[in-house]
């Protein structure tokens, strides 16, 4: 197939009708009735051919008296980068102002509320409101960890009143504010050897809440403290020792499923991602995009990657089975070397 040249106006018009992105760096087209010029790939409604004029670039179109389209931004070098910058700016605004409305946010990034809401969700995998709620929950966790009084922390985080907070406590923290401020002292942990190095296993009253991999006990303890600041080290004795051993056996031999209750803590979006990961068969992999499609949010690739990075139940929630679109290994919370070893081990077991 020949490479289009877009030399004639007829070729250019056909490119506009096809919204051909290959033509974007070759010319722009202007509509006399609106006074606006666009990229050939612009998604705006097509004008009548008789009202369309072609120019070699944005500079010539501006000189002819036309204004750049706000949708496709033909005067910008990389419109996609501009859109991502707007979303990033909006994220910071939402994190700083818990009362900011969609209309106010869209106004600050110079977009209509409808188009901005759609763009924000396609990039982050979350609505602006969900992002705002997540930021509010993070502010609450920070304030409680610093020792603030519960009521003061609730109000400082942006909840309108304490009763509003208590109705949403489980979604924000996965536990009560009092439990979180105390560091959920019911959590206990032990560290043992496994085939992947050192392994920390922690449990709460509800079940296994953390399985962490590392090279040193100090590293693992520090990682656990970020989630459970006052988790207590426990000796490997009696029933607890048996449960820890069950976890180790399950890690070392994936043919042995872990039959212990799990205490999985995360946002609603993270929970959906983690469930999708558990549906990936042993010996197989999926891309971040495929996982996003599996949860019904095909554009939420970055958010899926973030949920994988937030997983604290190594192997049991198999985030190691998620790879890049080209099949290459990407980052892994416990090191790409471990990820490669796990995938190789599971592939061999599947072949056998």
b vs e for 202-214, b when ≥16 Cβ sit within 10 Å of the residue's Cβ? bbbeeebbbbbbb
Distance in Å from the first CA to the final CA of the chain: 45
Tokens of 96: 């700083």
Q: Of 320, 317, 325, 311, whose CA–CA distance to 347 is shortest?
A: 320
Catalytic residue among 38, 69, 72, 91: 38
Instruction: Please give the Cα distance from 250 to 314 (Å, whole number).
Output: 11
Alpha-helical runs (H) found in 299-351: 301-310, 336-351
Residues 6+ apart with CB under 8 A from 117: 102, 106, 127, 128
Q: Is-catalytic flag, 38?
A: yes
Q: Is-catalytic flag, 42?
A: no
Helix axes 301-310, 113-124, angle to 10 degrees: 50
Helix axes 113-124, 79-96, angle to 10 degrees: 90
> Contact, 124 vs 164, CB < 8 A?
no
Residues 6+ apart with CB under 8 A from 84: 123
Catalytic residue among 91, 209, 308, 319: 319
- Which helix (H) or strand (E) covers residue 122, if one does? helix 113-124
Residues classed as catalytic:
38, 319
């Amino acid at each position: 197939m020949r490479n289009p040249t877009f030399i004639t106006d007829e070729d250019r018009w056909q490119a506009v009708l096809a919204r051909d992105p290959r033509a974007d760096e070759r010319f722009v087209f202007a509509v006399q009735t609106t006074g606006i010029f666009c990229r050939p790939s612009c998604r705006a409604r097509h004008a009548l051919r008789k009202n369309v004029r072609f120019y070699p670039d944005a500079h010539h179109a501006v000189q002819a008296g036309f204004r750049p389209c706000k949708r496709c931004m033909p005067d910008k070098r990389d419109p996609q980068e501009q859109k991502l910058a707007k979303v990033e700016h909006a994220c910071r605004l939402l994190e700083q102002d818990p009362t900011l409305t969609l209309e106010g946010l869209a106004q600050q990034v110079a977009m209509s509320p409808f188009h901005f809401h759609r763009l924000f969700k396609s990039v982050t995998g979350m609505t602006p409101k969900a992002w705002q709620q997540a930021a509010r929950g993070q502010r609450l966790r920070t304030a409680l960890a610093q020792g603030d009084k519960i009521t003061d922390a609730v109000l400082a985080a942006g909840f309108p009143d304490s009763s509003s907070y208590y109705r949403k406590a489980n979604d924000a923290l996965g536990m009560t504010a009092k439990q979180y401020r105390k560091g959920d002292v019911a959590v206990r942990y032990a560290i043992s050897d496994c085939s992947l190095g050192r392994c920390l296993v922690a449990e709460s009253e509800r079940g296994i809440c953390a399985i962490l991999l590392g090279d040193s006990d100090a590293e693992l303890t520090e990682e656990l403290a970020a989630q459970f600041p006052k988790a207590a080290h426990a000796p490997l004795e009696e029933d607890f020792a048996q449960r820890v051993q069950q976890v180790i056996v399950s890690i070392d031999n994936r043919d042995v499923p872990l039959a212990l209750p799990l205490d999985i803590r995360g946002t609603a979006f993270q929970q959906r991602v983690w469930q999708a990961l558990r549906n990936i068969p042993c010996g197989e992999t999926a891309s971040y995009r495929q996982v996003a499609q599996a949860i019904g949010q095909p554009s939420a690739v970055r958010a899926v990657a973030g949920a994988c990075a937030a997983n604290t139940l190594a192997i049991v929630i198999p985030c190691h089975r998620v790879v890049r679109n080209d099949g290459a290994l990407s980052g892994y919370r416990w090191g790409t070397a471990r990820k490669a070893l796990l995938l190789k081990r599971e592939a061999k077991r599947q072949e056998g």
